[in-house]
Amino acid sequence: MLSKEDNDILTQTDRGTPMGELFRRYWIPVLLSEEIPLPDCPPVRFRVLGEDLLAFRDTEGRVGVVDTYCPHRGAPLQFGRNEECGIRCLYHGWKFDVTGACVEMPNIENGDVIKNHMRIVSYPVVEAAGMVWAYMGPPNRQPPLPAFPYMDLPSENVYVTKYELHCNWFQAQEGDYDSTHGQFVHSAFDAVDTVRAKGKNIPRTLPSIDTPLGQVIVFGRPLGDGTMQLSAQQVVLPSMCPPGTGTGNGVEAANIRIPIDDEHEWHFRLRYAVQRPLTPRELLEFKMNGYAYAEHEPGTWRMKANKDNNYLQDRILQRQFNFSGMSAFQLQDAAMIEDQWGPVCDRTKEHLVAPDICIVLQRNRLLTMAKNLAAGRDPEEPFLLAERPIVQHLSEPLEPVAESKTLDEATMETIVRGMNTARVPDYAQAFDSNSLSEYAHRTWDEIAGS
Q: Mind listing the pLDDT tens digit for each residue in 269-298?
A: 999 999 999 999 999 999 987 778 999 999
Confidence (pLDDT) at 329: 82
Confidence (pLDDT) at 67: 98
164 forms beta bridges with 266
Confidence (pLDDT) at 178: 79
User: Which 3 state secondary structure label does DSSP give 353?
Assistant: coil
Confidence (pLDDT) at 323: 85
Q: What mean pLDDT value characterizes the chain? A: 90
Q: Mind listing the pLDDT tens digit for each residue in 345-380?
A: 999 999 998 888 889 999 999 999 999 999 999 999
pLDDT band at 181 (very low <50, low <70, confident <90, very high): confident
Q: 137 Cβ partners below 8 Å, 6+ apart?
A: 21, 24, 25, 26
pLDDT at 33 over 50: yes
Q: Mind listing the pLDDT tens digit for each residue in 379-428?
A: 999 999 998 899 988 878 888 999 888 888 889 989 999 999 988 887 77
As a whole number, mean pLDDT of residues 165-178 equals 92
pLDDT at 221 over 90: no
Report yes or no: 411 and 207 within 8 Å, Cβ to Cβ: no
pLDDT at 57 over 90: yes
pLDDT band at 447 (very low <50, low <70, confident <90, very high): very low
Confidence (pLDDT) at 247: 65
Strands in 374-427 per DSSP E: 401-402
Report yes or no: 379 and 28 within 8 Å, Cβ to Cβ: no
| Domains of the chain by residue range | 27-141, 155-448
β-strands 81-82, 63-67 pairing: unpaired
As a whole number, mean pLDDT of residues 213-239 equals 91
pLDDT at 328 over 60: yes
383: left (phi over 0), alpha (psi -120 to 50) or beta: alpha
pLDDT band at 248 (very low <50, low <70, confident <90, very high): confident
Q: Mind listing the pLDDT tens digit for each residue in 132-145?
A: 999 999 999 999 99
Domain range 27-141, its CATH number among 2.40.50.140, 3.90.1150.10, 2.102.10.10, 1.50.40.10: 2.102.10.10
* Rounded Cα gap, residues 189 and 323, in angstroms: 4
As a whole number, mean pLDDT of residues 98-107 equals 97
pLDDT band at 444 (very low <50, low <70, confident <90, very high): very low
Higher confidence at residue 246 or residue 292? 292
Point out the least confidently predicted range of 28-37, 94-103, 134-143, 191-200: 191-200
pLDDT over 70 for what percent of the chain? 92
As a whole number, mean pLDDT of residues 206-232 equals 89
Q: 241 Cβ partners below 8 Å, 6+ apart?
A: 173, 176, 177, 233, 235, 254, 255, 256, 257
Report yes or no: 191 and 184 within 8 Å, Cβ to Cβ: yes
* Rounded Cα gap, residues 419 and 211, in angstroms: 10
Residue of 153, 159, 392 whose CA lies nearest to 278: 159
Confidence (pLDDT) at 448: 45
